[in-house]
Chain A
Amino acid sequence: QKEVEQDPGPLSVPEGAIVSLNCTYSNSAFQYFMWYRQYSRKGPELLMYTYSSGNKEDGRFTAQVDKSSKYISLFIRDSQPSDSATYLCAMSAGSGNTPLVFGKGTRLSVIA
């Protein structure tokens, strides 16, 4: 079993839809959870960062962490064509030099 599992999609939704992206993980030591967005032929950029369990909201984006289920989610409200990208979840066990472990990424297309 991989440490981080993420459905690669592709996921195609109409403009304005609510998008739900998810990752599961097996390492109970993970405490820091991130979502990165990667446009085609670009490097990943950090969207959301959450420590431990709970929710975090930033504009149209909401990140949820459920450590008891080892499950994290990213919700995108009122999706826009500009949201079309690959979304990567990433997590680490601690601060400092603990490496990030990435999921495979989910490719999202928002159709106008």
Chain B
Amino acid sequence: EAGVAQSPRYKIIEKRQSVAFWCNPISGHATLYWYQQILGQGPKLLIQFQNNGVVDDSQLPKDRFSAERLKGVDSTLKIQPAKLEDSAVYLCASSLAFWAGSYEQYFGPGTRLTVT
């Protein structure tokens, strides 16, 4: 079974530029998560989708971050404009379905973003 795919793996941009990350979850997984992991910290949930609807985006900085999950499969996370403090690893995870009580979230390898 293929895992969660993310691209790009690395990205370096200057502050005030924009950037987009892509995630393809495990086939059949209805729930998709985007996390931000700053160096030395645990992952912090940014947004959670159930199919193509948003379940929780309370920690998403909506003035600069946006995310979508069209057709309930792939998802993109965008930052515009980027700030220095956005330097982090952006992790995508998926799980079978939250209503099934499925707690195992499968994580992708992440995209390492450096903002200079």
- A residues lining the B interface (CB < 8 Å): 4, 6, 8, 32, 34, 41-46, 49, 88, 90, 92, 95-97, 99-100, 102-105
Contact at A97–B48, with CB atoms within 8 Å? Answer: yes
* Interface size, chain B (Cβ < 8 Å): 26
Q: Which of B42, B43, B103, B109 contacts A49 (CB 8 A)?
A: B103
Q: Which of A41, A42, A100, A105 contacts B105 (CB 8 A)?
A: A100
Instruction: Select from chain B the residue with minimum beta-carbon distance to A51.
Output: B103
Given contacts A88-B42, A97-B48, A102-B42, contact A46 B101 (CB under 8 A): no
Write the B78-116 contact mask toward A (1 if CB under 8 angstroms, else 0). 000000000000010100001101011111111010000
Contact at B4–A96, with CB atoms within 8 Å? Answer: no
Given contacts A43-B91, A43-B107, contact A99 B45 (CB under 8 A): yes
Contacts of B40 in A (CB 8 A): 8, 104-105
Contacts of B105 in A (CB 8 A): 46, 100
Top 4 A-B residue pairs of the complex, sorted by shortest distance between their CB atoms: A102-B42, A43-B107, A96-B98, A97-B55
Contacts of B104 in A (CB 8 A): 46, 49
Q: Does B75 sit within 8 A of A, measured CB to CB?
A: no
Q: Does B24 sit within 8 A of A, measured CB to CB?
A: no
A37 CB to closest chain B CB (Å) equals 11
B104 CB to closest chain A CB (Å) equals 5
Q: Which residues in chain B, 39-61, are within 8 Å of chain A measured between CB atoms?
A: 40-45, 48, 50, 55-56
Contact at A42–B109, with CB atoms within 8 Å? Answer: yes
Contact at B45–A104, with CB atoms within 8 Å? Answer: no
Contact at A44–B45, with CB atoms within 8 Å? Answer: no
Contacts of B56 in A (CB 8 A): 97, 99
Given contacts A97-B56, A99-B45, contact A45 B50 (CB under 8 A): no
Given contacts A34-B103, A49-B104, A96-B98, contact A104 B109 (CB under 8 A): no
CA distance A90 to B42 in the complex (A): 9
CA distance A44 to B42 in the complex (A): 10
Contact at A104–B41, with CB atoms within 8 Å? Answer: yes
Name 14 extra pairs, CB < 8 A, besides A4-B42, A43-B110: A6-B42, A41-B112, A43-B91, A43-B107, A43-B108, A46-B104, A49-B104, A88-B43, A92-B103, A97-B50, A100-B43, A100-B45, A104-B41, A104-B42
